[in-house]
Every structure is written in structure tokens, then in C-alpha cells.
Structure 1
Amino acid sequence: MIERLTASVLAAVPHGFLGRRGGVSTGLYAGLNVGLGSDDDPDAVRRNRDLARDAVLPGATLVTVRQVHSPDVMRVTGPVGDDDRPEADALVTDRPGLLLGILTADCVPVLFADVQAAVVGAAHAGWKGVLHGVTDRTLEAMEALGADRARIACAVGPCIARHSYEVGEDFAARFETADPHNERFFSMGRPGHRLFDIEAYVVARLAAAGVRHIEALGEDTCSQPDRFFSYRRSCLKGEAGYGRQISLIGLATG
């Protein structure tokens, strides 16, 4: 059975953070792998994407992008074919019947909604994208559609947790150079290494941008192999590939 995690701040809109449970993929990708770029059976991936859509907003049109760790946002006005996906890392829409999807495997999925304006968004916040403003640009794109960031609610889904996310000193220096206060998101690890709390960093970026309603689920993708796909875990185990899970939000028709 598909596991669908939801956030109370988004209770008024169809949404869900889906993990790996359920689905038809087998072997290394066992479960609900939705990654078109993985080496999984393409037919299984397409079936999983249909199952994911129907778990959140049956009958909707699923729209995803080619994620490239950028701050770029796509405004969605209609269906987008899988082979026509533009490069971007966030999507926004005010059109009912469209379901926005973001794929992750440790990076941070963020779902956005202004219920009053009927505008929703989804962002893939990897470290590079969020450092360069993908969440800020998503808020701006929603405002261009009539949203008000004082009303926008944001949910931060399953991602790699601090205790699982070991990085080098040079990595931490990037964030501390951008803002010395970012030091608080890093703790000491092994000699020459730090532990990065990317979830807390994303929450802080949203709050600094003026978002007043934020909910973080606090689920670690790396340490729960039965529930989530994880790029970091796959690398540590020397596996040949890894699956991707999907986070979804949309506006119901009618």
C-alpha cells in the first residue's frame, strides 16, 4: 500500500509526500520508484507515476520537470509530456486539475499553497538550489499569480537528516560565506567534516522570506530504507542505482 504523508498546514489542498512503499518496481528499485531518469523498467516507472497521482488527486494531470539543481521555476498552464519537460526545479500553477510533482532521494521537497488565491507550488530544494534561492523564487512566482506570501503555507517533506548528512569543511564554507549565520546549521562530525541540517536551513530560508505557516515533517530518508529511497545510502552501499520518491500538490476541479 502506498504511504502518503500529509501536512496539517496544507490540509485544505490535495497533496502528499509519497515514499517507496507500494508501487510495482522490483529489485534495486523495489516499490514506488517514479524516476524517469533511473535504470528501472520504464513501464514500471510510468505505472508508479499513475499510482502516485491517483493516491493524491485521481484524474489529474501529473506535471514534472527535468530537475537540475537550479533556482528556476516553471509556471504550469497545461499538460506537459514526459519527453517535453523543461529544466527547472520548481513549479507553480493556478489551474485546477494539474498535479505538480517534485522528485527527491535525500533532497528537500517543499510544497506551497495559498488557499485563498488558489495558487500552489512545489520545489526541489537540493543544497545548491536552495542556496541560490529556489524557494524564494517559488514564492515570487506564486505572487505573480496572485498569491500573498503572508497567506502561503509551506510543508517541508522527508529529506536527509543532519545525523545522516556528513559534508566537508569546504561545503560548509559555501554557506558560511553566503551568510555567517548559516554556521548554526552545521555541527562537528569526524575530523575535517561537518553534519548539515538541510531541513532546518530550508525552514529558515522560508521564514526569512516572510512565510508564516511552515511545517517540517522531520523524516530522514537516509536511515529508513523500507520507507524512502536515498542517494546517500545508495552510494554508501555501493549500489548501481537508486529510486526516486515524489511529492505532489494540486488544485481539485469543481
Structure 2
Amino acid sequence: MKTFTSPALSGLPGLRHAFFTRDGGVSKGIYAGLNGGIGSNDDPADVAENRRRMAEAMGVDVAHFLTAHQIHSPDVAVATMPWSPEARPRVDAMVTATPGLALGVTTADCGPILFADAKARVIGAAHAGWKGAFTGVLENTINEMEKLGANRADITVAIGPLIRQPSYEVGAEFVARFTEADPAFARFFIPSAREGHAMFDLAGFIRMRLQRAGIVDIDDTGIDTYPDEQLFSYRRTVHRKEPDYGRQIHAIVLAR
């Protein structure tokens, strides 16, 4: 099972993390590999087995391998105990100070962002697409971590595989939404080959929001989901006119 890791997070004591790829799963067809997306139309038994394998890789029971019902919001849940798949909170980030609870976010182009304060033993995981990053999911995750005892000066953050600027074309109305909020956001766009379009730097925007929130230690995998066939990509699926797409999961856990 191939995973990506962050050297910055790997250097911290008392936790494990992984940015999972498609490698090592049982799903077939357009979902081939390690599809963890409960919301996909994949065979539920295959998704369950894939999630069991990811939980095993994280060193937790599958019941302790937690994901949320993501809705592209700025909302955060505090995890203190396992929840069933049916009881997943409708949020886009989770935090915990409870060892043995793996926090996982599902993505297929959006940004998986993992947080850890090793001193306070508080972790977080956020699903940051443009909407979540724009409306405050990153800042809210940090705030909720601090309520559990973290200090933002001690938080290390890793930005996982996401759609990068060379692959992320957007329309003029998208650019306007950002520049009307803050003219300085224009720096996250460069011209596209198509008139009236631009290429958006989601990773750069996420990094800026984290820095503005007082985070100093930020690591970025630099991986682009769109051209990388070992990762699921919503936009690649759309361009190929495929009927559905899989999701990878990225997770972090405090060791017991």
C-alpha cells in the first residue's frame, strides 16, 4: 500500500499519519484501488474493505477510523469517541485530543490538511476545497484545537495532494468572488490559455490562510491530483465523462 507522508509530521513524536493513494485496495472499474468514498456508487462491501485496510495501516480498529459527511463548509467537529457511518457529523474538519481516534478526510481534488500540536497532543484534519478555505475551515480548525489545549505557535500543518494551479482552470466569476473579498487575492490567479479564464493556486491560498492565522510550520507535499493516475481526481473524471469517481482518504492519529 503506497502512501505519501509529510516529513514535518513524520518528525513529530506520538502520532501517525498518511496521505493514502489508490494503491492497495479492492475496488474495480473506475473506482479501481483503494476507494474510501462512502458517498460514491462503488460496491459498499469494497469500500468497507478498503477502509478496513486503511484503518489497519493507521494502527486503529475500523470503528475508530473516523470521517465526516463533508459539505464544503467551515464547520468543525470535536471527536471524543467513535461514531457510526450513519451518524457522521456534517462538517469539513475534525479535531481531537483522544488517542486512538484516527481523523480522516476524503478528497478527490480538494485539499487534505493535517494539523498536529505534538506538545499538547492535539490533532486535526480538514477538507479544504476553495469554498471551505475561503469561508474559514482552516482558521476554525485551529481555533477548535486551541480549545483542546493546543497553541497555534506549536502547530505543524501538512498540505496533502490536491489539484494544483497548472490543472485548476476557473471562470471569471470565480476570480471576481475572490478579488471582491480582497484585491490582494488576485495573486493566486494566472491567465489561462482560454480567454476569460484563469488558473487558481488553491495550495497557495491555503498556505496564505494558514500563515495569516499564525501557523509557521507548514509542509506541502506538492502533489497534483489531476495528472497523477495513482490518485482520484474529480476534475479528471469530469473531463473523461466518467459517471462517478472514487475518493482517497488522508488521516492522522495520536498514538496510545
TM-score range, shorter chain: over 0.9
Total equivalences in the alignment: 251
Q: Secondary structure at the match of 2:94?
A: strand
- Aligned pairs for 1:121-140 (under 5 A) are 121-140=124-143
> How far apart are residue 134 of structure 1 and its match?
0.2
Give, as a single letter, the amino acid of the residue that structure 1 aligns with 2:34: L
The equivalent residue for 2:224 is 220
Q: TM-score, normalised by structure 1?
A: 0.97
> How far apart are residue 59 of structure 1 and its match?
3.6
Structure 1 unaligned regions, length at least 5: none
> How far apart are residue 30 of structure 1 and its match?
0.1
2:248 equivalent to 1:249: no
Cα distance in 2, alignment partners of residues 5 and 56 from structure 1 = 13
The equivalent residue for 2:5 is 6
> How far apart are residue 180 of structure 1 and its match?
1.0
Identity of aligned residues (%): 49
Give, as a single letter, the amino acid of the residue that structure 2 aligns with 1:31: G
The equivalent residue for 1:210 is 214
What is the CA deviation profile of residues 117-174 of structure 1, one whole-angstrom value per residue up to 9, with x for unaligned ones? 0000000001111100000000000000000000000000000010110000110111
Cα distance in 2, alignment partners of residues 4 and 53 from structure 1 = 13
The equivalent residue for 1:174 is 177
- Aligned pairs for 1:10-21 (under 5 A) are 10-11=9-10, 12=12, 13-21=15-23
The equivalent residue for 1:160 is 163
What is the CA deviation profile of residues 49-98 of structure 1, one whole-angstrom value per residue up to 9, with x for unaligned ones? 11111122244711111000000000000001001101000000000010
The equivalent residue for 1:108 is 111
Question: Which of 8-17 and 69-78 deviates more?
Answer: 8-17
Cα distance in 1, alignment partners of residues 23 and 190 from structure 2 = 32
Q: Secondary structure at the match of 1:83?
A: helix
Q: TM-score, normalised by structure 2?
A: 0.97
Contact in 1 for aligned 2:60/2:100 (Cα 8 Å) = no
- Aligned pairs for 1:42-57 (under 5 A) are 42-57=44-59
- Aligned pairs for 1:70-85 (under 5 A) are 70-85=73-88
The equivalent residue for 1:235 is 238
Q: Secondary structure at the match of 2:19?
A: strand
Structure 2 unaligned regions, length at least 5: none
